[in-house]
Amino acid sequence: MTNRASLTAGYMALFRALESRRPPKERLFSDPYAPVFLRGWRTWLYRAARFRAGLRFAEAVLDHSAPGARAAGIARTKWLDDEATLALRTADQLVLLGAGFDMRAHRLPAAARATVFELDHPLTSRAKQESLRNIATPPRVRYVAIDFARESITEVLRQAGFEYARPACFIWEGVTNYLTAEAIDSTLRQIRRTAAGNLLLFTYIHRGVLDRPQQFFGAAKMIARLQSYGEPWTFGLYPEELETYLASRGFALVKDLGVEEVWRETRRSNAGTRGYEFYRLAAARVS
């Protein structure tokens, strides 16, 4: 995992901030903290969105630039929020792998009783804490700096006070598509050492988008852009192979769905949602 705070996390903060601008009856979630992470033109776009016409303009600009990216970001946030809320009914530890600007520790009511471990690259973690310097962080939230390429997740969690015998929920959002197969395998095998029944919520991309991007709307343009940024997608899985892949690493697949399925369930207008049909969401338990 590399430090992607300036790009990926920044875009996700903007997507969440704009969604939170919608009227309460329309929005799929509320993230009042997202605006503190916005910089430059993202701040300007967010300010313009305080009016209804400005919000439509901001969403249209983003949807034209990267078809489906905003809709996928909203869908994955909504789904992960809901699944984590359910998991935290019994789990009292929440681990965010590659936390970025995720603020679930603060904004999810279900997380109020949990000890939260936010693992991320030291630079990203430092940038996040600097942005939150005027926002009180409760002692139950622990920032854990880690170089994923060189340090053991198992060891840094243990040092941070994670209790391996207690139930936990892990969230691995927007990360696997940037890793090597070896890094993903290592992470999964370390999570499986925790208590049986622990839940892992994660996102991944359909392997076909790497092999045949032209078959997915907007994918070829997106992949070319990511390569120009120096942040190419490197890993994906075929959905039909996911259950076997996880089972061989000590997990039982619970759910696997595409972001378009989440969007359909919201019953909101699907304007601007075409694209990113290759982006997927999954839940698995430690066997």
pLDDT confidence of residue 4: 46
pTM: 0.95
| 184-241 pLDDT per residue, tens | 999 999 999 999 999 999 999 999 999 999 999 888 888 888 888 788 899 999 999 9
Tokens 């969690």 belong to: 157
* Neighbouring C-beta atoms of residue 18, cutoff 10 Å: 24
Q: Sheet of 279-286: strands edge to edge?
A: 141-145, 115-120, 93-97, 169-172, 199-205, 279-286, 251-258
Cα–Cα dist 118/3, whole Å: 14
Q: What is the 3-state secondary structure (H, E, C) of 207-274?
A: CHHHHCHHHCCCHHHHHHHHHHHCCCCCCCECHHHHHHHHHCCCEEEEEEEEHHHHHHHHCCCCCCCC
pLDDT confidence of residue 2: 46
- In the chain the domains, ranked by start, together with CATH numbers, are 67-286 (3.40.50.150)
Q: What residue type is 127 in one-letter code?
A: A
Q: Could you read off the pLDDT tens digit of each residue along the chain, which spans 287 residues? A: 444 444 788 899 999 999 999 999 999 999 999 999 999 999 999 999 999 999 999 999 999 988 999 999 999 999 999 999 999 999 999 999 999 999 999 999 999 999 999 999 998 899 999 999 999 999 999 999 998 878 999 999 999 999 999 999 999 999 999 999 999 999 999 999 999 999 999 999 999 999 999 999 888 888 888 888 788 899 999 999 999 999 999 999 999 999 999 999 988 887 778 889 999 999 999 99
Tokens 């370390």 belong to: 190
pLDDT confidence of residue 3: 45
Q: Is 271 left (phi over 0), alpha (psi -120 to 50) or beta?
A: beta
Cα–Cα dist 197/53, whole Å: 47
